[in-house]
Structure 1
Amino acid sequence: MTPPAPDAAPDRGRALRRVYSTCQMFMAAVLIAFIAGSLIFTGGRIAEQQGTNWSEVWSWPAFPVPAWLLVVPALIGAIVVIPMCVRTPAGLANRLLGAVGQTVAAAGSAVLFMFLFPSDAGPIAMPQAEDGYLGWHWLALIPSAFSLVVLLVAVGAKGREYDRLRMTGRLPS
């Protein structure tokens, strides 16, 4: 094990980054499981209005995804993101940049599910639909967007120091 670089700060944000990544990747994994399950069990039918491509084993949706399944990890991520960014040293800013991609994937799953599972009532009318509303999954999009903004600000703030450490060869391993 190599000793840390002389001016490298200890990594106090590791546990927070793990919690954050778990929350974000869980949301993306739910989407992947839903799509895979739909392709396998519902005859290739992803959306309710879509037809089947082959005989279905179960009727759509094979795996209903309630909104709380995305909202809870999105809220946990939003609670953890600020302390995570503050506690992550500038030498590990590249890990925050990786969290940006995870957050985009999580937000994308919220967007897809709010269209895949429309609601009978709600505050946001479904585009080009007369009586449908966006599914309550959009509530997961709000904390995900907040987390994305915080991450982008943190990456911007720590990016110069990261570049300085990289140029001088003092990045922690």
Structure 2
Amino acid sequence: MTRRQLNRANVLWLIFTSSQVALAGLLVAFIAGSLLFVGGRVAPMQNEAWPQLWAWPVFTVPGWLPVALAVVGAAVVMPMSVLTPAAMAPRLLGAISQAFAAGGATVLFSGLFPAETGVMPMPSGDGLFLGLHWVAVPLSLFSIGVLVIALLAKGGEHERSRRTGGLLP
């Protein structure tokens, strides 16, 4: 692998990681803000556990934001996986974890911010629909699938190199 390809792999990994961590970070910020400023109220149907400083929600997450971040991740995951050398296979495992966290955040956001119209009705049956956030879930699943395949393809070579002393343990 040339130095240029390695640099490209690093840039793509940084883009992927940034998009996935931003999604998970939005959820962490939302929950932390809800606990601190909205009396512990995270969901719309919850009551406040203590006096609130702000009205719920602390901030809204528009449906397009998780979708846009998931599109960025899905767009770079395949070239990132191809360009990542076997010596850096553990990086792919970390990327799988990030994609799972991002997908979980989008599932929670789609339930926290329902829409009045949509394709998928809310399980509560109150006439609302899951927010547009759910569109990011298939993109996260695509990213996870690509990463799992890449990890399976490169993990064996990484382990052989590690056992023969080609890599640090």
Instruction: Give the conservation status (yes or no) of the 8 Å contact 1:107–1:140.
Output: yes
Q: Which residue of 2 aligns with 1:124?
A: 120
CA distance in 1, matches of 2:35, 2:118: 29
* Equivalent runs, 1:14-33 vs 2, <5 Å: 14-33=10-29
Say if 2:51 is the partner of 1:55. Answer: yes
* Equivalent runs, 1:120-159 vs 2, <5 Å: 120-159=116-155
TM-score of the pair, normalised by structure 1: 0.91
Structure 1 residue ranges (4+ consecutive) displaced by more than 6 angstroms after TM superposition: none
Which structure is higher in helix share? 2
Instruction: Give the conservation status (yes or no) of the 8 Å contact 1:120–1:131.
Output: yes
The Cα of 1:89 is off from its aligned counterpart by 0.5
Residues 79-127 of structure 1 deviation map (CA, whole Å, 9 limit, x = unaligned):
0000000000111111011100011100010011011111111000111
Q: Which residue of 2 aligns with 1:162?
A: 158
The Cα of 1:128 is off from its aligned counterpart by 3.2
Say if 2:78 is the partner of 1:88. Answer: no
Residues 29-75 of structure 1 deviation map (CA, whole Å, 9 limit, x = unaligned):
00000001111111110000000011111111111111112111110
Instruction: Give the conservation status (yes or no) of the 8 Å contact 2:87–2:158.
Output: yes
The Cα of 1:172 is off from its aligned counterpart by 6.8
Matched-pair identity in %: 46
Q: Gaps (5+ residues) in structure 1?
A: 1-7
CA distance in 2, matches of 1:55, 1:87: 52
What is the root-mean-square deviation of aligned Cα atoms in Å?
1.5
Instruction: Give the conservation status (yes or no) of the 8 Å contact 1:9–1:89.
Output: no
Say if 2:67 is the partner of 1:71. Answer: yes
CA distance in 2, matches of 1:169, 1:98: 23
Instruction: Give the conservation status (yes or no) of the 8 Å contact 2:106–2:134.
Output: yes
CA distance in 2, matches of 1:72, 1:104: 16
Instruction: Give the conservation status (yes or no) of the 8 Å contact 2:39–2:53.
Output: yes
CA distance in 1, matches of 2:59, 2:70: 20
TM-score of the pair, normalised by structure 2: 0.93
